[in-house]
Amino acid sequence: LEQEAEVAKVDRSLRMIAQAGFRWIRQQFPWEDIEIAGKGDYWDHRWNRSAWTKYDDIVELAKKHGLQIIARLDNPPAWSRSVGDAQGWSLGPPDNYEDFGDFVYAVVSRYRGRIRYYQIWNEPNIFPEWGDQPADPAGYVELLKVAYRRAKEADPDCVILCASLAQ
C-alpha cells in the first residue's frame, strides 16, 4: 500500500480487503522510505512532506476498516551502510544494528496502541533479502535481539515476530 500515491485508492483497497472477510494485513514499513536522507531525518525531501504521512494514512485507514496490521520492518537506507546501495547491497543489513534499533523504536513509539505486531525483516536466509550476501543466521539473530529490545522499550505490549524463512 505504501507504493500507492492516492489515499482514496488505499482506502478502496482496504475496504475491499475487509469486505472479502480478511481481518489482517501485512504491511511493509521500509526503513529506507521513512528515515530517508540520514539518521533522524524523517522528512521526504523529494515531496517536501513528512515521510510518515503515507504510513499514518495506512494505519488510520486500516483502523477505519477494522483491519489489524502486521508491520514488516526492513529495507535499510543507503546511508546505514558504508557500501551504500552498491550492487548486491540494496537490501543488506545496516553496518550498525543499533541504527535499525532506533528505527524500530521510532516506528513502534509512533504507532503504540494502533499496531501491536511487528515482523523483523523478511526471509533473511536468501540472497535478495540479506543484500545478496550469504545467509548469516547469527547476524539475523543479533539484529532481531536489538529490534526486540528497542520495540519493547517503546511498547511493552507489542509482539515481535521473527522473519519468515524462504524454502
Arithmetic mean of pLDDT, 114-126: 96
Structure confidence by residue, pLDDT tens digits, 47-101: 999 999 999 999 999 999 999 999 999 999 999 999 999 988 888 999 999 999 9
Structure confidence by residue, pLDDT tens digits, 100-111: 999 999 999 999
pLDDT of the residue at 25: 98
Q: Where are the alpha helices (DSSP H) in the chain?
A: 7-19, 31-34, 53-64, 97-110, 137-154
Distances (CA, A) of 18 to 67, 138, 144: 7, 38, 31
Return mean pLDDT, the chain. 96
pLDDT of the residue at 71: 98
- Residue 46 pLDDT level (bands cut at 50, 70, 90): very high
Give the percent of the chain with pLDDT over 90. Answer: 89
C-alpha cell at 74: 526492513
